[in-house]
Structure 1
Amino acid sequence: MQSALTLREAILENLQSRAWRAGHRLPTERELSGQFGLSRSTVRRVLSELKGRGLITQTVGSGTYVSEEVAHALANISHGGAPLATSPAELMSARLVLEPAIIAMVVGNATHADFDRMENCCERGEAAETIEEFELWDGKLHEAIADAAHNTFISAVFQRMNEARAQSEWGMLKRRSATPERRLDYQREHRELVAALKDRDGARANELCIGHLTHVRRNLLGY
């Protein structure tokens, strides 16, 4: 089985070589899933990331297409460099430093729309039928929290962290460590964190953020 990173690089190669030009219709999620041996939720996560970077667009009932702004989006990626090659341990260390550090900005800057987005991510994660789908919405929740800081640099950093989460080693650890009980714990912790942010309780949100990330690290890495 190939990794989400393999799919991402294959799509980027088609875009960079101009084999797929603006307006080109991409294969369906089902086709990509079969071709790369990935779950539909993993394919959806990769497409969501590429959409977020302006490379593709998606129309319900129609399909996924190369963006009209693909050249500009590719230029931004080339300046940003290749996907981060980092270990789960390095990623967790970075998350434990960065995510609590932005809580005050989120508390001060988040809007009602930001909180609605966070709630939707929680709901979609709770309704997820697979660990891959849950991981997708887990990542989207943490990205939504980062975006609520309303700082473009912070949003870019967290987007890169979500790219690192798409790497196969992280996914394998998540699947190995996943149990129904742990998932319920994560869902509860997500809800408590969002509630504290909505209450503008920075101290409580910071405590919950550190507690959640420490819990994830212990389950994934054993310390």
Structure 2
Amino acid sequence: MLESLVQQRFAVPGARAEGIRALSDHLLKEMSEGGLRRGVKLPPERELSERFGISRGSVRRVLAHLREQGLITQTVGSGTFVAAQAEALRRPRPEPEPAHTSPAELMVARLLIEPLMPGLIVQNATAADFQDMFHCLEQSEAAGSIEEFEHWDEALHRSFAHATHNSFFVRILDLTNQVREQGEWGRLKRISLTPETRRQYQVQHRAIVDALKDRDAVQARRLLVEHLEQIQRNLFSRPGA
């Protein structure tokens, strides 16, 4: 299905064709790989226009095409959301599903592995990498539901892995996100993610990204460890955890 959609894309002459194709490819790729899931709100037209260097009219054309395919829904005053039909684009993972990993096991592993990333990020990250991080921050802060916040939280940590420019960390974060899709993690997150803890995470996320942008690996690592330890406490120090 994905291939047929790509073939139908926008035969537009001129310089704007590249930006239109880039936006179309980006949205379809994110849907097919699970980066954009059912119910997730897409960025506003203005942001997509600036990010891909095309007019808002061109953005609307791409979105109209996806809406006609049933992949998104649009509501005046609410925005554009990924539709249930987009799940049909999801590609099966070639590797077998991992054995069940408990949230406690996951947090122990994250505390060992993720603090290794800032050293590589400050060496290798590009301007585009930092742009992706700030995009994730903005979307998580604007999220209207726990599911949407969790999506952009995952995306931010995945952007850290990509900014290392080391494929091992990308694979590890993909595996981490597979574990986070398991039901037990979701239950604990719903219990622990109060308005106050969400504000804490947002402040911590901003501080981590700012330290990385300043190329301060020591500070970024310290802040990341504190953030992960805070998540660990919030997940397991509550009744029913």
TM-score, reference length from structure 1 = 0.69
Q: Of the candidates 66, 90, 94, which is equivalent to residue 109 of structure 2?
A: 94
Deviations 1:138-167 (A, max 9, x none): 010000011100111221111111111111
Q: Percent identity?
A: 43
The code of the aligned residue for 2:118 comes to I
| Equivalent residues of 1:84, 1:164 under 8 A apart | no
Q: Which residue of 2 aligns with 1:152?
A: 167
The code of the aligned residue for 1:139 comes to E
The code of the aligned residue for 1:210 comes to V
Structure 1 ranges of 4+ moved more than 6 A:
none
Matched positions, count: 171
TM-score, reference length from structure 2 = 0.64
Higher relative contact order (CA 8 A, sep 6+): 1
Distance in 1 of aligned mates of 2:186 and 2:169 = 24
Q: Of the candidates 207, 212, 220, which is equivalent to residue 227 of structure 2?
A: 212
Distance in 2 of aligned mates of 1:102 and 1:82 = 25
Structure 2 stretches lacking a partner, 5+ long: 6-28, 36-62, 72-85
Q: Of the candidates 155, 162, 182, which is equivalent to residue 140 of structure 1?
A: 155
Q: Which residue of 1 aligns with 2:216?
A: 201
RMSD (Å), alpha carbons? 2.6
| Equivalent residues of 1:103, 1:206 under 8 A apart | yes
| Equivalent residues of 1:22, 1:65 under 8 A apart | no
Q: Secondary structure at the match of 2:165?
A: coil
| Equivalent residues of 1:22, 1:66 under 8 A apart | no
Q: Of the candidates 196, 208, 218, which is equivalent to residue 181 of structure 1?
A: 196
Deviations 1:64-91 (A, max 9, x none): 4866xx9xx65xx33x221442000001
Q: Of the candidates 145, 157, 161, which is equivalent to residue 130 of structure 1?
A: 145
| Equivalent residues of 2:137, 2:152 under 8 A apart | yes
